[in-house]
Structure 1
Amino acid sequence: MIKYRSDVDGVTEEDLSGFFVGWPSPPTRRLDLLRGSSRVVIAWDDDRVVGFVNALTDGVLMAYLPLLEVLPEYQHTGVGTELVNRVLDDLGSLYGVDICCDDDVVPFYERFGFQRVNGMVLRPHLKPRIRP
């Protein structure tokens, strides 16, 4: 049975291996990413981390969900849906919650009421900034 916790107590770097499948340049210091988040929800199957979501927020107006990760063998089992529902509940009634995602997962987020918008991102590791 999957259990959900809103803390990183007991999580190790090793617990976070196996995630970020298909990322061209997966993040390092994964545990630090979770520790530095405003909110986090972690899915556990016994003593194994099988998924997580994190949020960055000012707590008043906006939040951003940078990561939702579920181990491949736990995808399409409801774990991701539960993680998103729990973090949204935890964030409360903010003006907005933003995400950036690949096209193939847009239908997943649309089920929660997310809508497509125009946006911009800066990824310095992909292309350096132009300086005058």
Structure 2
Amino acid sequence: MTKSVSAEQLSTLFEKSGIRRPIDDLKRLQKMLENADLTFTAWDNDKLVGIARSVTDFSYCCYLSDLAVDQDYQKKGIGKELVRRTKDYIGDEVTLVLVSAPAAMEYYPILGFEKLDNAFAIKKKR
């Protein structure tokens, strides 16, 4: 589905996309990559410019935990295409959910996401 991604490449992408992730903790980023159930990426030659990383049971629910696009490549349809590929792969019976950063709240409805008011979270310590 995707080229292999290193923790270093993911860290650089997160930094260039503006997404808040533990970019200095390469061990944690590597675990994030290894334990994802579904990952789609976008590349400019050998440069990682986008990623959609999900955790799913492939039957009922899919959590899109990372959607990141390098700021130099945003507004070119890359995020939209990564979401489309994710949705196509999981199919119509699986609900795609995500937690949005405040700055992206206006973006996700454009991609077909519905804002929900019935979610809860126990937030991580760091």
Q: Find the residue that maps to 2:106 and give its secondary structure.
A: helix
C-alpha distance in structure 2 between counterparts of 1:56 and 1:17, whole Å: 19
C-alpha distance in structure 1 between counterparts of 2:82 and 2:94, whole Å: 20
Task: Give 1:40 deviation, angstroms.
Answer: 0.5
Partner of 1:31: 30
**TM-score normalised by the chain length of structure 1:** 0.78
Task: Give 1:103 deviation, angstroms.
Answer: 3.3
Q: Find the residue that maps to 1:94 and give its secondary structure.
A: coil
Larger fraction in helix: 2
**TM-score normalised by the chain length of structure 2:** 0.81
- Pairing 1:7–2:2 present: yes
Partner of 2:122: 122
On the 8 A contact 1:8/1:34 being kept in 2, the answer is no
C-alpha distance in structure 1 between counterparts of 2:105 and 2:93, whole Å: 21
Give ranges in structure 2 of 5+ residues lacking alignment. Answer: none
On the 8 A contact 2:40/2:52 being kept in 1, the answer is yes
Change (3 A) 1:51 1:85: same
Question: Could you list the runs of 4 or more consecutive aligned residues of structure 1 that deviate by over 3 angstroms after TM superposition?
Answer: none
What is the one-letter code of the residue matched to 2:86?
A: V
What is the one-letter code of the residue matched to 2:121?
A: V
On the 8 A contact 1:66/1:100 being kept in 2, the answer is yes
Change (3 A) 1:95 1:41: closer
Task: Give 1:31 deviation, angstroms.
Answer: 3.2
Across the aligned residues of Structure 1 and Structure 2, the Cα RMSD in angstroms comes to 1.9
Between Structure 1 and Structure 2, how many residues are aligned? 119
Between the aligned residues of both structures, percent identity stands at 28
Give ranges in structure 1 of 5+ residues lacking alignment. Answer: 1-5, 127-132
C-alpha distance in structure 1 between counterparts of 2:31 and 2:86, whole Å: 18
On the 8 A contact 2:22/2:29 being kept in 1, the answer is no
Task: Give 1:78 deviation, angstroms.
Answer: 1.4
Q: After superposition, give the CA deviation of every residue in 1:9-52 in whole Å (9 maximum; x if it has no partner).
A: 2x2222223214262x5253323312211111011100111110
